[in-house]
Structure 1
Amino acid sequence: MTGTGVIPEHTRAAVVRAFGEPITIEEVAVPPSVEAGGLLVEVVACSLCGTDVHCWEGSLALDIRLPLILGHEMVGRIVAIGEGAGHDSVGQRLRVGDRVIWTHAFCGRCRMCTAKRPAMCLNRKAYGHVSLQDWPYLMGGFAQHAYVLPGAGRVRVPDSVPDALASMASCALRSVVNAVEQAGRVGPEHTVVVQGAGPLGILATGLFARAGAGRVVTIGAPAARLELAGAFGADEVISLEDTPDPAERLARVHEATDGRGADLVAEFSGHPAAFAEGIDLAAQGGRYVVVGQLGAGTTAIAPGTITKKNLSVIGSFSGDVSHYHKALTVLDRYARHLPFDRLISGRYPLEDVNTVITRMQAFQEIKPVLLP
């Protein structure tokens, strides 16, 4: 190892041993040394994502082996640096004590990695989804320590970015940055409709507004989240609670666009029915970027609508290390323009993990953070 602090023999972690059952706080072994290219970090903040809740419930359309440590949206302070890992993925020097965020681990040799699409790596090791029984054990953020694999990209966190927001950058914001990038140019002539007023939808509202969209309309609920979407730059919000009929929501969008529909629709809701609605909301020649549809749910659509409208439908999944870096840059440069801190709905000790999961299920949190 090229640099090391004190490596403990064990660390505390929140462990899932049965889907839907209370999570237990346990002592977990820490690897005594760090391999070449790897890092050992002390987790300073781990924000919760809806995927964490779905994984705990056992409702993800993935093969998940228990037991595991949840958490894939985190920031850590470096404890030990493996040989050859003295710089991050964008060339910045790393030292013990620096904060970093990191990607899932990619193999670098499969078809998708070769095509420079590592987020689609066929051999990906995803944090928060790897069994605790597999070395190096510490593959989730709901713990006091985590292990950064050699195949994981990593980016040093600027001093200007607080822990909770840096954590959010490692999943929620990097996914939005990737989606906005894939959606293509927006300008003053464009109306953008954002489906969903969760953390991703609110962040997307802000980024589309800052990118220069002429009008941003955010659809979602509850009212408090729509108010926050307005603070992030939404010109109009449409409440699912006040306007439960999709036909009425379509009429509202048509009213705002002289009957054309949205030039760009961005789906961040996660509800399968939103996909069919998004197709209807899009204007002729419009674009539809789909981000939230990670579950196994289905919905009925009229495929001919895509053809007759000449729509471009774009799937956007996760992000590569460049999007992690850009997410940190967004937090640094837009800090005076977008109220990122208002997305952080609570800070909790690791012992409160079950309470936080329950509150997430009940939509009582936007972006809670565990402080292990």
Structure 2
Amino acid sequence: MSPIPSTCKAAVLTRPGSPLEITDVQIPDKLEPDALLVKIERATLCGTDVHVRDGAVSPRSDGTYPPIILGHEMTGRIVRFGAGPRADSIGQPLAEGDRIVWSHGMCGRCANCVIEHQPTLCTNRRRYSSESCRQYPYLTGAFAEYGYVYPTSGRIRVPDEISDDVASASSCALRTVVQGFERLGPVAGHHTVVVQGSGPLGLFALAMAVSSNPSQVIVIGGPANRLELAREWGASHCIDVTQVVDSQERLSIVRDLTAGRGADVVIDMAGFPSAFSEGMELLRSGGRYLVVGQAHTRTVPFNPTDIVLKQATLIGSRSAGIAHYWRALEFLRQHRTRFQWDRMISRTYPLADVNAAFDDMAAGKEIKPVISMAR
């Protein structure tokens, strides 16, 4: 491998609402025990990254904005090990040059990690895209030529059959969907599933739903190119929100498709506040509603009596643990002939053009854009 330089290029956010700045960031010359240094190959752009850049979401719980490297969906090759075992989180051996995906740093010592087995609620989590790139370990975001893997971060070796681009997308969007489906429970052959949203979360949710062979899967979203891919991946029906703009009309279509009952399972991956109220209407009595796409500070009209009268089950799901990263990669590997995963990757941008990627995604021009670190 090439010698490791002392600095590397990274896309840094210095204040909300401003473009990212391509600047030199220090590469740590010493690693904590069990930490890794990786050369990032690819990083995919998440909608959350856009919200953080634009100031809609704070990168830190205290609301501050230090200079941070954005991005949390990435794959890279190991170039240096800290002291400790050279194996991934499921015991597979690791060596320099191996490709991995990795999680946020869950402490493994708090009540949520140890007692409740809910690492995504870790009270001491070290998050990517939240720590200052001016302080050690510096490289705590995806949009950089090198990345630091926290000692407490899970890490999984990427199967040879999975491309860098798709593996990167799996490390946020798909692993989040995997945990959501785990919390949701089984989807049966007679069920109708409605997926709200046709972005990466919605498309991965569609693929997981279709793989369970339900009676039908209805996707509500847009624009047209995303719905075209949804049909290719097995959506029974697609409702384009740019064409069917009234929520009551969309409800009527779903009712017609379900003999008036509504959906057995509704999955909110939309990211729009109004989707929640609409999803509750789409749900049949006794149905289950998985909510993943709601991450904002807005309130929406909702009468909790609906939960009682419908005897509905509401399920929230946030992020994922390292087991879900592995399951996401396995899902990609096992179903790679059924779904053309690369069809979700809409365009590749060099690191120098990272702001164009953000703008295009914000404008709905992209499904899952990729940032390439190759110079």
Question: What residue in structure 1 maps to residue 193 of structure 2?
Answer: 192
1:284 aligns with 2:285: yes
Mapping 1:271-310, distance limit 5 Å? 271-310=272-311
- The verdict on how the C-alpha distance between 1:5 and 1:39 changes in structure 2, with shifts beyond 3 A counting, is farther
Letter in 2 for 1:240: V
2:74 aligns with 74
Q: Which residue of structure 2 lines up, in the alignment, with residue 11 of structure 1?
A: 8
What is the TM-score of this pair, normalised by structure 1?
Answer: 0.97
1:230 partner amino acid = R
Whole-angstrom distance in 2 between the partners of 1:6 and 1:111: 42
SS of residue matched to 1:45:
strand
Secondary structure, counterpart of 1:192 in structure 2: strand
Structure 1 residue matching 2:92: 3-state secondary structure: coil
1:44 and 2:45 aligned = no
Give the superposition deviation at 1:313. 0.1
CA contact (8 A) 2:25 2:134 kept: no
Alignment partner, residue 124 of structure 2 = 123
Question: 1:16·1:67 contact (CA, 8 Å) conserved in 2?
Answer: yes
Amino acid at match of 2:228: E
Q: Which runs of 5+ in 1 are unaligned?
A: none
Alpha-carbon distance, 1:66 to partner: 1.9
Deviations along 1:120-155, one digit per CA (max 9) or x if unpaired, are 111111111222133201000100000001110000
Residue pair 1:64, 1:129 contacting (<8 A) in 2 also: no
- Give the structure-2-normalised TM-score: 0.96
SS of aligned partner of 2:256: helix
Partners of 1:183 and 1:314 within 8 A in 2 = yes
Indicate conservation of the 8 Å contact 1:164/1:344, yes or no: yes
Using the TM superposition, give the Cα deviation of residue 306 of structure 1 relative to its aligned residue in structure 2, in angstroms: 0.9
- After superposition, the CA RMSD in angstroms is 1.2
Is contact 2:68-2:130 (8 Å) kept?
A: yes
Secondary structure of 1:76's aligned partner = strand
Q: Which moved more, 1:76-85 or 1:263-272?
A: 76-85
Question: Higher mean Cα deviation, 114-123 or 313-322?
Answer: 114-123
Alpha-carbon distance in 1 for matches of 2:85, 2:233:
37
C-alpha distance in structure 2 between counterparts of 1:216 and 1:197, whole Å:
12
Q: Which residue of 2 aligns with 1:91?
A: 91
Q: Is the 8 A contact 1:218 1:237 kept in 2?
A: yes
How many angstroms apart in 2 are the aligned matches of 1:64 and 1:365? 29
Identity of aligned residues (%): 45
Partner of 1:33: 30
- Please give the per-residue CA displacement for 1:311-333, whole angstroms capped at 9, x wherever unaligned: 00000110100110011111111
Offset, 1:5 = 7.1
**C-alpha distance in 1 between matches for 2:105 and 2:253:** 43
Uncovered stretches (5+) of structure 2, i.e. residues with no partner: none
CA separation in 2, counterparts of 1:270 and 1:130?
Answer: 25
CA–CA distance in structure 2, aligned partners of residues 230 and 135 of structure 1: 46
Contact 2:10–2:145 under 8 Å retained in 1: yes
**Which amino acid in the other structure matches residue 20 of structure 1?**
G
1:142-181 aligned at under 5 Å gives the runs 142-181=143-182
Number of residue-to-residue matches in the alignment? 369
**One-letter code aligned to 1:146:** G
CA offset at residue 296 of structure 1?
A: 0.9
CA distance in 2 between counterparts of 1:59 and 1:272 reads 13
